[in-house]
Structure 1
Amino acid sequence: MPDSEDVCVLIPTLNEAETIGEVIGGFQERGFSNVLVVDGSSNDKTQEIARSHDARVIEQSGVGKGQAVREGIESAESEYILMLDGDGTYKPEDADVMLEPLDDGYEHVIGNRFANLENGSMTRLNRFGNRIINRAFSIIHGQDFRDILSGYHAFSRKSAERAYLTSDGFGVETELAVECVKHSVPTTVVPITYEERPDESETNLHPIWDGGDIIMTLYQLAKTNNPLFYFGSVGFFSIFVGLLVGSYVGFEWFLATPRESHEVLAVVAGVSIIFGVQLLMFGVLSDMIVTLHREQMRRIDERR
């Protein structure tokens, strides 16, 4: 396991006064003195409590968890980063489990909350949404990380510098997972405990709006990692619509009595089918380019 002096514990926060002190103290008791809190202009005493526990506190220049994570990664100077939320749902005791794989050749570690999900820690709606998103990720990006929305991550500075993060909200965990797949970062998943959020602490996650943002982020990132799926899904939909409209036009012309022609609908159907086929062709060509690019990058990495 990496030495605790080589690890920066990164905690993005927003109004976590009820829990941040205990979270920081838990890591300090285990020898992690380098704790960095990136606060999103909390209107409670989050920053004061964090400073009183000897944590380094910076106030993020923008808004959103994703933006806080980017600033935290830029400010952390350690070789390794251990990232988690400050709401008390993740246990400092799991730090060793998270960090150990980094000594075994892995560069990114994801904590799987579903390995030990305590009662009341996640609503049925959130659990269902997590299953859908994880399943979609495995289909689109070809890797099963089991819990891509986990807030508990451990990674090397080298892998963080290769990641291109743009999300400002809760989609940052999805981006991290996609970047690991895109750049072939050695990644593993370890079991952790996910505890119930304390009653005094309120969640900043909106399951509907933030869930929709995460799904859109997941789909948009397929454009550069799996373009065949990205363009192919739209192409198949366009072809399906064209065939549906074309079937109606054909039925009205050949089988209906009296016979009716729908010239405009026929044109729409034809254009829709042609557009869909073109998107499929573009997806295949883009996928070939991405595959060649990955092969070239692999060869470059081998020569370094």
Structure 2
Amino acid sequence: MADAVELTILMPCLNEAETLAICIGKAQGFLARTGIVGEVLIADNGSTDGSQAIAEAHGARVVDVPERGYGAALGAGIAAAQGRYVIMGDADDSYDFSRLDAFVAALRDGADLVMGNRFAGGIAPGAMPWHHRYIGNPVLSFVGRLLFRTPVRDFHCGLRGFSRAAVQGLTLRTMGMEFASEMVVKATLAQLDIREVPTALAKDGRSRPPHLRSFRDGWRHLRFLLLFSPRWLFLYPGVALLLMGLLVGGTLLHGPVRLGGVTFDIHTFLVAALCVIVGVQSIAFAIIGRRFASRYGFIPRSDQYDRLLEGLTLERILLVAVLLMVVGMTALVWGLAEWAARDYGPLNPSSTMRPVILAMTALVCGFQLMMSGFMSSMINIPIYERRLADAPEPDDHLQRRRSTDRT
């Protein structure tokens, strides 16, 4: 029977008694009008207003999801869906479930993920707060397109359709509102066929405030986007800081530099050294973060990145770290020699602080690389889980232990 179901219309639900029956009626009307073999599935997230009874009374199937959260409800609903395709949307009557034709057409045409675009389809007055419409959604959608090169222009549209098999293959993990971003990001990284269709957004029909919390959930979306992109979070800023620090530091290594009426001296040299230190650590974090994300399935593996990691062995990293420490110690000896040449008397900070800053920068960077190398290698340690069938029974193990103790 499940094999014959083509479409599941999935609605996450938490106390939507005011609008649930309307949404179910529109979804069933769409299935009847188009002749699609489908079902209406309600993923209930612990409603206390009788939403479950309303759904069942109107012919929808209900799956109870005890773990709270938007992502938890949708994840359980996708797992319980019987349809080959799933179209999900909020049960607050802000989306018109009677007009899903464009989604179904795109899915039948081979799309893996079909996103609704509210900005192309129209937003009714009062349907979206102004800071969501002109700040939150555009900014987060721009960040998503910049970081992941996704074609989606409305990153957080709640009405979307997808191939159930394709989305289940993404192994979505988040439990909150960021589930919407995770789906788009992982689908993009997996190079799935993603398309957009215009969809209209109406003012929701409930009298209570929405579950969405603008700043809290907006930050969760932004945090997710950054954590899933170690390049933009760590690598690019780190490379920029490192190059700037090396350029400025190399220019000021031999003495102050005057540009126009401004003199750059030891204080600027110190700032350049700090840029180098932070840049090296940021690049190390990018490598560790990417290795961790690839290892545990948060980000798809990359052949190019894997070849880079194969070259960055622990031994090579330690070699570079030791060389930096040697440079640091040499610079420190240089500074001591400068002090000794002045009979250990008063020093000129502009000249004598340079070798000391260079020495400390090289020593700190070397130590950072050494610790980062070990941390990266710890993540790469192979883990093998023994099957339960291979493990001894608890009683047998206890009996052997008692026999050993008596012996």
Q: What is the TM-score when the length of structure 2 is the normalising length?
A: 0.61
Indicate yes or no: 2:127 matched with 1:121. Answer: yes
Structure 1 residues 23 and 245: CA distance shift in structure 2, 3 A: farther
Change (3 A) 1:243 1:17: farther
Question: How many residues get paired?
Answer: 284
For residues 242 and 293 of structure 1, the distance between their equivalents in structure 2, rounded to whole angstroms, comes to 26
The equivalent of 1:91 in structure 2 is 96
SS of 1:70's equivalent in the other structure is helix
1:30 is matched with: 30
Change (3 A) 1:94 1:269: same
1:7-26, aligned counterparts within 5 Å?
7-26=7-26
Cα offset, 1:233, TM superposition: 3.7
Q: Are the equivalent residues in 1 in contact too, given 2:8–2:83 (CA < 8 A)?
A: yes
The answer (yes or no) to whether the contact 1:8–1:82 under 8 Å persists in 2 is yes
DSSP 3-state at the match of 1:110 = strand
Q: Per-residue CA shift, 1:157-196, capped at 9, x if unaligned?
A: 2212211211111111111111211111111100011101
Are residues 241 and 58 of structure 1, via their aligned partners in 2, closer, same or farther at CA, if it must alter by over 3 Å?
Answer: farther
Q: Give the Å deviation of 1:222.
A: 2.0
* 275 and 60 in structure 1: CA distance in 2 versus 1, 3 angstrom threshold: same
Deviating more after overlay: 49-58 vs 237-246: 237-246
1:102 matched to 2:107? The reply is: yes
Structure 1 unmatched runs, 5+: 295-304
* Structure 1 residue 237: Cα displacement: 6.6
State whether residues 94 and 193 of structure 1, in contact with CA within 8 Å, keep that contact through their aligned partners in structure 2.
no
One-letter amino acid matched to 1:22: I
Out of 138, 152, 157, the position equivalent to 1:150 is: 157
- 1:44-68 per-position Cα deviation (integer Å, ceiling 9, x unaligned): 1211211111111122031100011
Distance 1:269 1:34, change over 3 A: closer
- Cα distance in 2 for partners of 1:293, 1:6 equals 39
Distance 2:21 2:159 in 1: 18
Q: Distance in 2 between matches of 1:4 and 1:191?
A: 29
Q: Which residue of 2 aligns with 1:290?
A: 302
2:238 matches 1:235: yes
CA–CA distance in structure 2, aligned partners of residues 161 and 96 of structure 1 = 23
Measured against aligned partners, the alpha-carbon deviations of 1:261-280 in whole angstroms (never above 9, x if no partner) come to 79987764542243345567
Q: Which residue of the partner structure matches residue 209 of structure 1?
A: 216
Assess if the C-alpha contact under 8 Å between 1:80 and 1:155 holds in 2: yes
Q: Secondary structure at the match of 2:67?
A: coil
Q: How has the CA–CA distance of structure 1 residues 282 and 196 changed in structure 2, closer, same or farther, with 3 Å as cutoff?
A: same
The answer on whether the counterparts of 2:71 and 2:176 sit within 8 Å (CA) in structure 1 is yes
Identity %: 27
Change (3 A) 1:170 1:283: closer
Aligned mates of 1:203, 1:194 — CA distance in 2 = 15
The answer for unaligned runs of 5 or more in structure 2 is 33-37, 307-407
Q: What pairs up with 1:179-258 in 2 under 5 angstroms?
A: 179-223=186-230, 228-236=231-239, 238-239=241-242
> Is the Cα contact below 8 Å between 2:112 and 2:194 reproduced in 1?
yes
Choose between structure 1 and 2 for higher RCO, CA contacts under 8 A separated by at least 6 residues. 1
Report if aligned partners of 2:29, 2:98 keep a CA contact under 8 Å in 1. no
TM-score for the superposition, normalised by structure 1: 0.81
What is the identity, as a one-letter code, of the residue corresponding to 1:231? F
- 2:315 corresponds in structure 1 to none
Q: Residues 23-72 of structure 1, C-alpha deviation per residue, up to 9 Å, x if partnerless? A: 00111122265111011111212112111111111220311000111111
Task: Point out the structure with max Rg over C-alpha.
Answer: 2
Cα separation, partners in 2 of 1:234 and 1:166, compared to 1, 3 Å: farther
CA distance in 2: counterparts of 1:188 and 1:198, whole angstroms: 28
In the TM superposition, what are the counterparts of 1:36-55 in structure 2 within 5 Å?
36-55=41-60
Question: Runs (4+) of structure 1 moved beyond 3 Å?
Answer: 236-247, 252-257, 259-270, 276-287, 291-294
- Distance (Å, rounded) in 2 between the aligned partners of 1:266 and 1:237: 12
